[in-house]
Structure formats: C-alpha cells, structure tokens
Amino acid sequence: MLRKASLIIFVLALACSSDDGIPNGIMGINEMKPIVWDLMRSGELVNLQLKSDSTHVLQRNTALYNQVFNMYGITKEQFYESYTYYQQHPDKNKILIDSILQYASRERNKLYQKLQ
C-alpha cells in the first residue's frame, strides 16, 4: 500500500514538472531568452530616445513591453510569473542570464555580418 502511494506521488510530481525541472505554467529558458532580450532592447531604445523626459519613459516602456508580450503571444502576468520563478531559483536564473548573454552575442554578430 505504501509503495503504491509513493509511486502515485512520484508520478504526480513528474506530471507537474517539465523535463528540465521547471514547473508547468513557467516558461522554459528557451522561451524566456528571446523575450527578455527583446524587453532589454526595447528599454534601451526608450532610454536613447527619451533621455531627459522621465514621464514619457515609463509610458513608452510600458507600451513597448506590451508589444513584446503580444509579439510572443503571452500576457504580462505570464511573463512576470516566470520571471519571479527564475529570481527565486538562482541556479536556474544563472542559466537563463548566461543563455541571454550568449543569445545577445549571436544576435549582435548577425547584425554586424549584415552591415559588412
């Protein structure tokens, strides 16, 4: 009886998490990576465009962030739920950040190659 209960709990635990140990409902690193990269780029764009006008920076950032969320077919809540999960799990957050840095490097290299 105890073995059956243990087996059921084990199977349920597996069903509630994905292969990489990230719970269902939380975006995986490969999903988060391009979204975070695009959010970072949109934030930098706003900072370059509106250096001195802090009132419009927040409004413009919010608008661009919403465009990024729409582009990836997610809600702000879905993103921040996943983002919070990664912040609460430093080992996975480090992998995410390292992954974003590598992604950014590849994207910059692609851009430089196009310019040449």
**Residue 63, in any domain of the structure:** yes
**Residue 1, in any domain of the structure:** no
Mean pLDDT of all residues in 87-99: 96
Domain count, the chain: 1
Beta bridge partners of 92: none
Mean pLDDT of all residues in 81-110: 95
**pTM for this entry:** 0.74
How much of the chain exceeds pLDDT 90, in percent? 58
pLDDT, tens only, 24-78: 999 999 999 999 999 999 988 888 877 766 777 788 889 999 999 999 999 999 9
Residues 52 and 56: their CA atoms lie apart, in Å, by 9
Mean pLDDT of the chain, nearest integer: 82
Domain span at 45? 26-115
Which CB contacts under 8 angstroms, 24+ apart, belong to 84-88?
A: 85/22, 85/23, 85/26, 86/32
**Residue 14, in any domain of the structure:** no
